[in-house]
Every structure is written in C-alpha cells, then in structure tokens.
A and B are shown apart, each in its own frame.
Chain A
Amino acid sequence: MLEHKLITKYIGKIDPLSIASYMTFHGYKMLRKALRLGGEKIIEQIEIAQLRGRGGAGFPMVIKLKSVAAQTNRPKYLICNADEGEPGNFKDRYLLENNPHQIIEGMIITAFATGVEKGFVYLRGEYEQAYNILSRALEDAYKKGFLGQDILKKGFSFDLEIRRGAGSYVCGEEFALIESIEGKAGRTRVKPPFPTTVGAFNKPTLINNVETFATIPSIIEIGGKAFATIGTESSRGTKLISLSGNIRRKGVYEVPFGVSLRDIIKTLGGGVEKGRKIKMVQLSGACGPIIPEYMLDLIMDFERFEIFESKTGAGAIIVIDDRYDMFEILLRIGEFFAHESCGKCTPCREGNLQLNKLLEKFHKYKASEHDLTLLETLARMIHQTSLCGLGQTSATAIISTLHYFRHEYINRIEKSVTMEDSRHA
C-alpha cells in the first residue's frame, strides 16, 4: 500500500457541506481533546511529531508555535495560507472542497495553543467553489459554538473569517499575503523581523498552509509519537501529492514521506500514455527543479530534496513526456514568473525578463555560447540575491536543467544560426 490516508481518511465519506456529517467521524472531538490537553501539551505533541510546514518551505511548525505563544503584544493573528497559486498544486483545493471542517478544527486547536483570538483564511480568488463550501462550514461551526466567544465553555475565543485574493501568485508569500490582508499591493517586507513577532497589522502572526492545519487534528488523534513513526527521519508523517501533466491518473495522493517519485508516478499515477516516454518531471511546481527519468528513484523527503537547493515545495509532481521541447516548457515557466513578479527587487523584476529573452533565443534556434554563459550566471544570481521566495526560486527550473539536461542546451547552440554565423556565411 503506497498510499497512507491519514489526513484524507474521511474524504469521500464526509459530505463537505454538512457539519453533522463531519461530526459522525472524529469531527471536533479532537478539539475537545486538545482543549483538555491544554496549550503546552498540544505544542509538545506537535514537537514530538516533528511536523514541518506543508506549504513548501518545510519549516518546523513548533518553532513558529513557540514564538507566537510567547508573544505578549496583542491581538495575535493566525492565518491559513490557502492561496495555492503554485502551478501544478491543487491539494489544498482538494482539502478545502472535501473536508473543510478538518482545517477549521486544526486552526482552532492551534489558536488555542498559542493564545490567538483572531484568524484569517487567505483564499485565492479563483477558488470560488472552495469559498462557498468553506463559508458554509464556518457558518455551521459558529452555530455549533466551535468558533466565536467562549468556545465549548473553556473561556477561549477565536474568530475566523475568509479573505480572498484577487489574482496574484506572490500573495502566497507570507509577507505579501499579510500586505494583501491589510488592503495593500502584495509586496514583501524587509526580513527580519518575521511574522511571528511583527506580522499582520504589525502584530505577532502565525501563518501555515492548509495541509499543515489539516494535519493537526490527526496528530492530536494518534499522538505525536505515532505520527513520527510514519515517514523518514527528516520528514515525519504524510504528504499530499498533486500529480498532473502527461499522466494517466491525475489527482491528489496521500503518501508517507519516503515513497519514491517513480512509485508515485508509475504505480499510483499509472505512468504516461502508451507509446510515450517520460522526458522530464518538474517537482514542487513552477518553482521547482526539472529532473530526468533516471532521477525518479529519489524519495519524497525534505533532506533529499536539498540537493536541488530549493525546498520540497508543496509536493506537486508534473510529468512531461517526450513530445515537448524543453525550451518551450522553460519559457512557459519563465513567463509565469515574469507575470507574477511583484516588481519590488531588481534581480527578479529585471532578471526574469532578461532570462526569458535568453530562453527565447534557445527556443528559436538563435542561441550562442555567450548566451549560455549569461543565462547560467544570471539564473544563479537571481536565485542568490532576490528578496523573496518568488525570485529565489524562479530560476530553479533553469538551474536544474543546466545540470541535468545540459546536452539540450549544447545541441540547441550547435543547431542555432546566430547573427555571428550569418555574417560569416
């Protein structure tokens, strides 16, 4: 059994529009259990579970929890990052549409543990269906007294509202997200300080991904120790994989960390169409590395993924078969980042445009050695000097292909006719 349905175990059995349906399973029982445990013990369980953020950065949640719990500057805020703009990712949409209450419950438990009274779900504007389902869920949760004042008569209050995005990928970045909630353009801030000390409205703010919050009730249910027995040493628990592209069975799969990419693609996804071969696989999203078929024995694991100098990302796997020109794909990715860049810092604002101009040369068979050198130097520089995660990862696809598919660049140069050539001809 490759899959391990821990946090998705009730999906398919629950009617997402019915809180009563949720409550016939472990719905809100984990909240009661957590309230009995108390804040410190909840944080302790999450620490033992070694839960790392599921939004892409894989940051240990307990560090953020302890920091926010210790802050005395009020009010404190909790934000669920449901912006999910990373191409190839749809697992948060899947959770929101199919089991919204588990996310809400996870947020309430976390708010209780950290002394937070106000929360936001920052939901990307395109997820209209998720919005309708989540709105209904919030309404029902309030009616049942799981949200609002004096929750379950434990003297703790938590208000939760949805704020919608308006078409900006960069608002998935924590500070850009906060700026958006504050009613401004989504541009990141100077770090430090970090959101846990100076966040939304300059108050302590805890931000985590949808899947991370959805995992909390499961950890409360089975305990941190049991959670930590799943997965690998650096990556405990399960991960939702968004599988898409040239693959027979696209969809969301929950697997324990440690499963290989090949197993996910071949066994769970059914591989590529008959007659086709896997040419390349992009991991994590547009921000992730592109790897060749022979690398697919790599396992899903935060530490293993560090070879790509980017984090595991949110767990997307995009399969691309042999019909596609690598430069066509790189250009698509590059145009995405150029369009979504907020424009604040020079390397990302100017650099992504220049990268695309160079990629166009390769795409149109007009590239030279000089272009290759410049592309590589520029890609690395943007990666090393950009102000936020968008710029820092916008060139990951290029950098990875320069390593794993360098022959494609060389071949393209050999086949190119440049200005130089035509002058000498």
Chain B
Amino acid sequence: MPKITINNVEMVVAEGLTILEAARLHNIEMPTLCYYPDLDIKNDCRVCVVEIEGVKGLVTSCSTRVREGMNIKTHSSRVLTARKLIVEMILSNHDSNCTACARNMNCELQRLAKSLNIEKNRFESVLEYQLIDEGNDCIIRNPNRCIKCGRCVDVCRSMQSISVLDVIGRGHQVTVSPAYGRHLNDVFCSYCGQCAAVCPVGAITEKDNTAQVWEALHDSDKHVVVQVAPAIRVSLGEDLGLPVGSIVTGQLVGALKMLGFARVFDTNFTADLTIIEEGHEFIHRLQNGGPLPLITSCCPGWIRFAEHEYPDILKYVSSCKSPQQMFGAIIKSYYAAKANIDPKNIFVVSIMPCTAKKYEAKRPEMSVTGTDPDVDAVLTTRELGKMIKQMGIDFQNLTEQPFDSPSAITTGAAAIFGVTGGVMEAALRTVKEVLDEHKLDNLDFVDVRGINGIKEATVTIKGHPYKVAVAHTLSNARKIAKQVIAGQSEYAFIEVMACPGGCVGGGGQPYGTTNKKRIKRSASIYEVDESATIRKSHENPIVSALYHDFLGEPCGHKSHELLHTTYTNRKIT
C-alpha cells in the first residue's frame, strides 16, 4: 500500500488507485471536466492536472496511478495558472449566454469557472457560430456550447454501439456531430438520451416541453392530467435535495397536484395492463407455434433501434404499446367517456425518465382520436424537477397524496418495470401462475435482476423449461438481435431496455447518474415491490374491472384497437 503526500497531508492508499481517486477518498477537492465515473478516461480537458515533485510537466490526476513516495500538489501556483488558462480558453470558444441555457446553475463548466474565480477572460472569443440541431422531438444539440470532452461520442459508440456521433476534423476546427453534419433525425439515433445524460454542459439537452405544459395548465379550457412512470418515484428526489433512491411517491403526487394537474395517474396501472396483454400474447405464441422469441416493446429507444437496424426482428416484437401509450389511449377513450369530457379538451402529460418517450408520443400510430396524440407532452424527470423549483414548492415537506382513479391500485410487478429485468419478472409472475394454474411460492425471479449486460434464466412452465433473456444497453440489444435474426436464439421471451440499468438509468434522469446510483435506485424499486400489497399484475382488481367493463378479452378486438400498435421498416438500403 503506497504512502503518498497530497498537499502536505500524508496518506496510505490502496495500490492501483489514480491520484484523483486517492484525493477524493480523502475529501480533497479535485476539479475535473472530461472525467466521468464508469466511462473510459478521456484525458483531454487537462483540468485535473497536478504537480508532482521531481516531475517536469504537470500530470493529469485522472490517469496517473499513485506510486510510493509521490509528493503531490493539487493547487500549486503552476497548477492554478494552468487550470485558469485552460478554462478561460474553453470559455473563449463557448457560447456563454448562460441564462438562455438549460444547464444554467447546474453546469460543470460554470462550477469550474466559479471555483477558479474567473471573472475577466484574458482571451477574446474565437467561437465560430454553428447551426443548432433541433429537428427532432427529443434531443437538441448545440455545438456552440460543446467543450469537446468526448463523453457523448463514447456512450454512443461503446455503451450503445450506435456511433451516430463522432469527433470530426482536426485542431481548432474539431466539432462533435453526425457524419456530414447531419441532424439526429436523419441518422440512426435512437433518442435514448444517454449523450444528454453525460454532457457536462448545455451542448446536448432534451427538448424542453415545460413551457408547453405550463401553457396547458393555465388554459382553463383544458382538462390537464398527468401520468407518472415507475422510475420517477425513486429518482425525482435527487433533483430536489434528497438522497439517491429516496422513495417519494406521495410527495410526487402532491407536487403534481400543486402544479395544477386535474388528475394524477400512475403509469404503473397500465404497466399491469401491459403484462395482461403481453402475457396473453406470449401464451398465444407458446400455444400456436410462435413466432418466438417474443421481445418486449415498451422501450421506444429499442423500437427505434430495431426499426432502423434490424427490421427483420420486428415480427418477433410484441405488438403491445408501452404503458405510457396504453394510458394515453385509455384516458382519451375510457376515461374521457366516464368523466364525460371531450377527449379534444384533455391534455395528457407524462413524466418519464426517458427522452425517447417524447418521440414515441408523436408516432402517428399513437392516436385513438385520429386528430390528437394520445399523450400530448412528455416531461423528463429533470424537467419536472425544474417545474417544481419554478413554482417554489417545498417538496420535502409536502403531504403525501394517493394517485387518482383508475390508477389508485397498482402492483409490485408494475413497479419493477423501472429496472432492467423488471418487465420480464412481472410477465413471468403472471404467465407462469396462469399457465401452471398454481399459486407461485416464490415471486422473485432473481436470475433476471442485476447489472450484467445480458441475463439469462430458465423458467419451468407446465413442466417445460423455457429460456428467457434480459438485455440492457443497445450494444447488448445488438448482440441479442443478431442471434435472433440468425435463427440461433434459444430464448422464448426477451426483454430489451436501451438504457443501462433499465429506466432508472434513463436519458432523462437527474444528472450525474453512475452505476452506483443506478443500483441504489433499483434497490428502492425492489423495495416498492416487496412492500406492495399486490405483487402480480393479474391480481390487480381495477385492471380486471377494466376488462370486464370496457376492454372485453385480453388481446381481443378492443384491446387491439386501443392497446396495440404496428412498426415500420426504417432501414435505409
């Protein structure tokens, strides 16, 4: 265990640690910019340089491992001079109109500049204005704010294997963009938003729909309702000063009521509904010679990926809409009728941990009225956090409130939709119990849980073993897709989520998401499941009533009309 000195403080640290890790373990503030936990070390911003006695130049602490006897200064005169110059130069090639930026007051560059006391920039601006890419519904790219850290290129290439973005050019002309300067909607971007989630500044952000939602809330002619995804209740708290993984369901409902939503629904309700529909779809395929495997369809990033790159796989994908879209359809048909409101006057908002859901809501298939979308606006977790702060709501001290009918009762199976493996587990609880005609002794299918990229399990149904798989991140989805198309898949049922960890790691989640945080959020989701009164979707009485009163049979005519959808081959040949 090497003994080192940082800023005259001696310490013994574990072998193999970088100087950055060692410093942070000892609460020594070490500024960084391109560094992001869990991603490859970029080593390009050079902000984290430190001075080591006996070494001529300055070295980066993110990439230099500790060695016995190292005498390190993190804030010496040479280091501070270097850091200040670096940040001033970044600012001289950056659109510093902060008040117009979504990351204002939540920006890594701002924090860094402030900590270095940069007031007057010694350098003149050298920014050459580039056009902003805002041609799609989910993600805005503003190259004038890009600091060329490379995080977005990394996640798009390594985590998602899509490689839409790359570093283009040389020297000062370098820019981060798709090939030929194309817009995201003209390339195979899945809108997963992982790039936006890791961007340190406002170069990549989600399209802001808060203004649209405020307008609707202030429109007295509109009946504005909101639905909330499973992952939100364990994530929103982070943006509002609470510890990671805090379960804030009741306060969340309270805050939404305060914002002015007439009804606050729980998307978990239609997650249960999805399980009934998809479960029956699976049973039908099992009993009628396929096609197998059945692949889940609730993740729009995955759907877009499949339509673009592997359209031959679409025949295996479930025709079920996602819970978000099922709820939109139910609200503008069943709920509208029951509440005696013209669906034209209902404005449906959904709160999602996801950026691709903004695109999903606008898909032309997603309209039961034929004139308006079933879901009118989608807000990410971050956007909701912003609205709550804008209204000055004292979130932590809110009185907890329940969701509105018909989503007043939801199950543990629905809650776990928010994590990778959750949809699979929820489906298995129903399918196995229904087909075996026997109450499950153990509801926990632990083999499909956890952070491994591809998880497998064997489930025995009616004495027959079936292999199932769960994949998260698109690079793992790609592996699975190739297998299926090559006819080499041994699975009967596959769950795919585009984001790492499932929706708790979604592109719209609070900034600073890391593996550790995903694990904490997941643990809270499983806690919600464990403590739920009902843990199986087919035991949700309100869902049963919905079929009885309105839908008829699972996968019946009405269900197909409202709750199922179609896909399109978008592969450019």
A384 interfacial contact with B, CB 8 Å: yes
Please, what's the 1-or-0 string for A380-395, where 1 marks a CB less than 8 Å from any CB in chain B?
A: 0101111100001000
Q: Which residues of A contact B173 (CB under 8 A)?
A: 343
Q: A354-B92, A384-B78 are in contact. Are A377 and B85 (CB under 8 A)?
A: yes
CA distance A384 to B50 in the complex (A): 11
Q: Are B170 and A341 closer than 8 Å at their CB atoms?
A: yes
What A residues does B81 contact at CB under 8 A?
377, 381
| Binary contact readout A168-194 vs B (1 if CB under 8 angstroms, 0 otherwise) | 100000000000000001010011100
Q: Are A341 and B46 in contact (CB under 8 A)?
A: no
The number of chain A residues with a CB under 8 A from chain B is 34
- Residues in A with CB closer than 8 Å to B172 are 338, 341, 343, 349-350, 352-353
Please tell me if A321 contacts chain B, counting CB pairs below 8 Å. no
Cβ contacts under 8 Å, A353 to chain B: 126, 171-172
Give bound CA distance, A271 to B120, whole Å: 49
Query: With the chains together, A120 CA to B44 CA distance in Å?
Result: 28
A345 x B43 contact (CB < 8 A): yes
Whole-angstrom distance between the Cβ of A379 and the nearest chain B Cβ: 11
Contact: A347 with B46, CB < 8 Å? Answer: yes
The closest CB in chain B to the CB of A185 belongs to B167
Q: Is the CB of B85 within 8 A of A381?
A: yes
**Cβ contact within 8 Å between A374 and B122:** yes
Answer yes or no: B93 CB below 8 A from chain A CBs.
yes
* Cβ proximity bits B140-180 to A, threshold 8 Å, 1 near / 0 not: 00000001101000000000000000010111111000000
Partner among A168, A187, A384 whose Cβ is within 8 Å of the Cβ of B82: A384
**Chain A: minimal CB distance from B47 (Å):** 8
Q: Is the CB of B126 within 8 A of A381?
A: no
Given contacts A185-B167, A374-B122, A377-B85, contact A346 B44 (CB under 8 A): yes
- A335 and B316 CA atoms in complex are apart in Å by 57
User: Does A303 interact with chain B (Cβ within 8 Å)?
Assistant: no
Residues of B within 8 A of A185 (CB): 167, 170
B452: min CB distance to chain A, Å: 24
Which secondary structure characterizes the binding site on chain B? loop
- Give Cα distance in the complex from A320 to B65, angstroms: 44
**Which residue of A has the minimal Cβ distance to B171?**
A341
**A343-B90 in contact (CB<8A):** no
Interface residues on B, range: 35 or more
User: Which residues of chain B have C-beta atoms less than 8 A from A332's C-beta?
Assistant: none
Q: How far is the CA of A339 from the CA of B169 in the complex (A)?
A: 11
Closest A residue by C-beta to B45: A346
Task: Tell me the nearest residue of chain B to A383, going by C-beta.
Answer: B57
- The answer to whether A357 touches B49, judged by C-beta atoms less than 8 angstroms apart, is no
Report if B461 contacts A (CB, 8 A).
Answer: no
B14 within 8 A of A: no
Partner of B46, one of A352, A354, A378, A385: A385
Interface assignment of A233: CB less than 8 Å from any CB of chain B? no
B507–chain A nearest beta-carbon distance, Å: 26
In the complex, per-residue mask of B38-74: 1 if CB is within 8 Å of any chain A CB, else 0: 0001111111010000001110000101000000000
A345 and B44 alpha carbons, distance in the complex (Å):
4
Residue B123 lies at the interface, judged by CB distance under 8 Å to chain A: yes
Could you tell me the distance between the alpha carbons of A357 and B78 in the complex, rounded to whole angstroms?
A: 23
CB of B259 within 8 Å of the partner chain: no
List the interface of chain A (C-beta within 8 A of B): 168, 185, 187, 190-192, 309, 338-347, 349-354, 357, 374, 377-378, 381, 383-387, 392
A-B contact pairs, 24 of them (CB 8 A): A185-B170, A190-B41, A190-B43, A340-B171, A341-B171, A343-B148, A345-B44, A346-B90, A346-B148, A349-B174, A350-B92, A350-B93, A351-B85, A352-B171, A353-B126, A354-B123, A374-B122, A378-B85, A381-B81, A381-B82, A381-B85, A384-B57, A385-B46, A385-B57
Residues on B close to A: CB < 8 A?
Answer: 41-47, 49, 56-58, 63, 65, 78, 81-82, 85-86, 89-90, 92-93, 122-124, 126, 147-148, 150, 167, 169-174
